[in-house]
Amino acid sequence: MMNIGRRLTRTYVFALALIGLLAVGGSLLQRETADAQRQSAAVSSIVYDQQMLVQRIAKNTLALTHQTPTPGFASLRRRIALDVDELERNHQVLLSGALERGVLATDVPVLSQVLHREPYRLDYKIRRYAAATREMLATPLDRLDAVTTEPIVLTAQFDLPDALRATTRAYDALGQEGIRHIEYTRRLALGTLLGTLLMVGLLGFRPIVRRVQSGVVALEAARKRMEHSALHDALTALPNRRYLAEHLSTAMARGRRTGQTVALLHLDLDKFKQVNDTYGHAAGDEVLVTAVMRMQETVRSSDFLARVGGDEFIIVTTDVSSTEGLAILADRLIERMCDYLEWNGNDCTIGVSIGIAIAHPADHMTEERLIMNADHALYAAKDGGRSTFRFFGNDGERPLPQQAATPAGDGGRGVSLAVVNG
């Protein structure tokens, strides 16, 4: 009996030590994975901002090539200068590796290759692009021509997007490496669990077995939570800009393959900054949550909603039967957003401006171009007095390909919507 007691004691101590090692190892790997995913998400966010800034600089630069300067040219120059400053600040963040609470490994081979080696050389291209833009800004208005501005526009359209996309892919690879660590930990935990069950289950230590099982379940739940947080916004729980990039890429590829039209609506809340500055961030957060609820009530349950900026949203729809349907949706959103909104007895009523762009199957348009077109339309809506919408170019007039019949219950709207919030 004493020998059996000593054996049980040794088995119990061994099982506890095994569980402790498993818990420590899992915790370390989980922390490492969380850091890698947070860093990858932060880089994706900065690269997305860089893409939008580069496109906006090119758009505003192109507007300066008119032969006769107008009073608005001075405002355009200031916008370009501010965007170039932000572009360089973001690039310095990527170079220094200081992102939120983590520090990126700046000696990682994939980062070094994207920043300094052919064919991307992102560091050189960003610096050259910023220098060329500043040189253009120093040129008198009456001397601007296509020879001065064309290199800036062409670089933004063809050269820099490839390098920025390569940066995103490189850090996505690092994030996936972190997920593989979690998978390895999970398999290790399962193997340890089986060994522990075989060793102590026969001796009647069921509480130990249950403890090991709960540890494995907790690791799996943590992995799923991290995957969800990497693709969703913390405040609204909506898909974020990274999720938007994946969704839009899939939708555009499907549209080119099936001949389906893709439309994108870029929404920007009016008077939100005024609410935030007057009543504080708590009021701003409450306004954002309420705005999202109103959007969800306006679009259909099958639509995709995400957040792409502080007060910016994007609607992506792949079931467009008419531009009139898009216009009706925009009107409904504007009307709903202008409803009275109160916070702690204070009037926090806001509005929304909307830019609409359409990718026809025959256009073979890229995702970046569709977003840029919607951004241009949004600027036109804001210049038109806010709380209104504009189509990009002649998108509102071009006929759309024949689509499948609208499902019953659509109310004749004739458009399937996906909303993305960043």
Question: In Å, what is the CA distance from 54 to each residue of 47, 146, 154, 220, 372?
Answer: 10, 18, 11, 40, 10
* Torsions phi, psi for 194 (to 5 deg): -60, -40
Nearest CA among 261, 76, 48 for reference residue 165: 48
Phi-psi region of 237 (alpha: psi -120 to 50; beta: other; left: phi over 0): left
According to DSSP H, which parts of 239-302 are helical?
A: 241-258, 272-279, 281-298
Looking at 233, 311, 319, 395, which residue is catalytic? 311
The residue behind tokens 């006769």 is: 68
**What CA–CA distances, in Å, run from 58 to 80, 120, 133?**
9, 19, 9
In angstroms, the CA 209 to CA 80 distance is: 63
CA-to-CA separations, 419 to 66, 115, 209, 250, 351, in angstroms, rounded: 36, 33, 46, 15, 17
Tell me if 311 sits within 8 A of 272, measured CB to CB.
yes
Helices 272-279 and 281-298, axial angle in degrees (round to 10): 150
Q: What is the bridge-based pairing of β-strands 415-416 and 419-421?
A: unpaired
The yes-or-no answer on residue 311 being catalytic is: yes
Please state, in angstroms and rounded to a whole number, the distance separating the CA atoms of residues 256 and 362.
Answer: 8
Residue 194's nearest CA partner among 39, 363, 18 is 18
Tell me the β-bridge partners of 320.
415
Give CA–CA dist 400/359, Å, rounded.
10
The full DSSP string for 383-408 is: HTTSS-EEESTTTTTSPPPP-PPPPT
Q: Hey, which residues are catalytic here?
A: 311
